[in-house]
Amino acid sequence: MASAARFFIRGAHSKLCITGIGSGTQSTFGATFLKLSPSSSSCTKTQRRHAAHFTFQPDPEPTQYGPTQKMNMFQSVTSALDHTLANDPTAVIFGEDVAFGGVFRCTVGLRDKYGKDRVFNTPLCEQGIVGFGIGAAVAGATAIAEIQFADYIYPAFDQIVNEAAKYRYRSGNLFDCGSLTIRAPWGCVGHGSLYHSQSPEAFFAHCPGIKVVIPRSPVQAKGLLLSCIADQNPCIFFEPKILYRAAVEQVPIEPYIIPLSQAEILQEGSDVTLVAWGHRKAIHLLKEVANMAQEKLGVSCELIDLQTILPWTLKTVCKSVVKTGRLLISHEAPITGGFAAEISASVQEECFLNLEAPISRVCGYDTPFPHIFEPFYIPDKWKCFDAIKKMISY
């Protein structure tokens, strides 16, 4: 049904081109006046997909984990899953189409290598996928469930927050399903529209008992996914799908882990702290913004990748804000109730006397995720740059 809706929307608007947009605030985007005109030669396919444009900036090649090999993100995920199946005879991978390699090819070749009893398809039922995963994990298996896409994780919401997250608590630690990992493609790519572009991490950040992790690169994806699989708590691993093929790095061949719940400072700075997670608007675009701020304003930005949404590293963020006095948080999810609000409230409580300007949130709008207006919906470098200019003016 979602695919049919997406096809209908694309067809209905295939002859429209955005020629202008009125000004508006994030809370009133739905009321913003949008002017359309029939398609013309200037409305190219590249322009329509401008929202997906970003420059991936690979991290330095890691040397502490041994030899490396060039991989994109889906290959690094496959590598992590391959190592898990090879080293853990109880590990099973299941979900929609995973036996055929998955929608994004993250499980390609694994069924042939390890057998149909360990890598297998499930019915198109998210409740069943997660429910089966909980049962398998409780019985002692390492269960790795795949949900396609993160937008369709909601039917399994009850299983995740009322069963998986609380299993240990309600049994007084007699039982648990800590060896459950739920993978899901996450975030927008520029043309996914309502049902293939959402960022639902804030929904699960409200629920004690689970961990929520979002990597920014192939190196991070492999290390963090292996950490999730080894962790003794149920984990949700959101994979930025725009990076599956666009992000390429030298990834260690052997298994390695990157600790959960530890934010990483990617760039030192002294004037503004930038906090985000995941893909382009989170990390890679903010790197461009930091360079713009330095070149055009002489402003030094400190960039932090949160990596783990739940639990997150307040200490690292606060230490940075104490130094810079300013904080900008960016994500694609709607601004109201987004995880930036939690960060903002926590930093306000801990660092109020150190703040030189109000905390700024550059986020999505409080509307369903649009299709042809995606470039105006999601944060971009100009919105973030304007927010930095405003903070510096205080």
Domain spanning 262-392, CATH architecture: 3-Layer(aba) Sandwich (3.40)
Say yes or no: do domains 68-252 and 262-392 share a fold: yes
Over the stretch 140-186, which tens digit does the pLDDT of each residue have? 999 999 999 899 999 999 999 999 999 999 999 999 999 999 999 99
Q: Name the band, by pLDDT with cuts 50, 70 and 90, for residue 352.
A: very high
- What is the reported pLDDT for 205? 96
Write down the catalytic residue from 83, 96, 126, 374: 126
126 is catalytic: yes
Beta strand 180-186 pairing with 235-240: parallel
Instruction: Single out the residue of 222, 384, 177 nearest to residue 290, CA to CA.
Output: 384
pLDDT in the model for residue 279: 67
Domain edges within the chain: 68-252, 262-392
pLDDT for position 280: 54
At 310, the pLDDT band (50, 70, 90 cuts) reads: very high
68-252 CATH pick, 3.40.50.40, 3.40.50.970, 2.40.37.10, 3.30.70.240? 3.40.50.970
Q: Exactly one of 83, 96, 163, 196 is catalytic; which is it?
A: 196
Q: Answer yes or no: 196 catalytic.
A: yes
Cα–Cα distances in angstroms (integers) from residue 1 to residues 6, 21, 152, 195, 251, in the given order: 9, 31, 12, 10, 38
Question: What are the pLDDT digits (tens) for 215-236?
Answer: 999 999 999 999 999 999 999 9
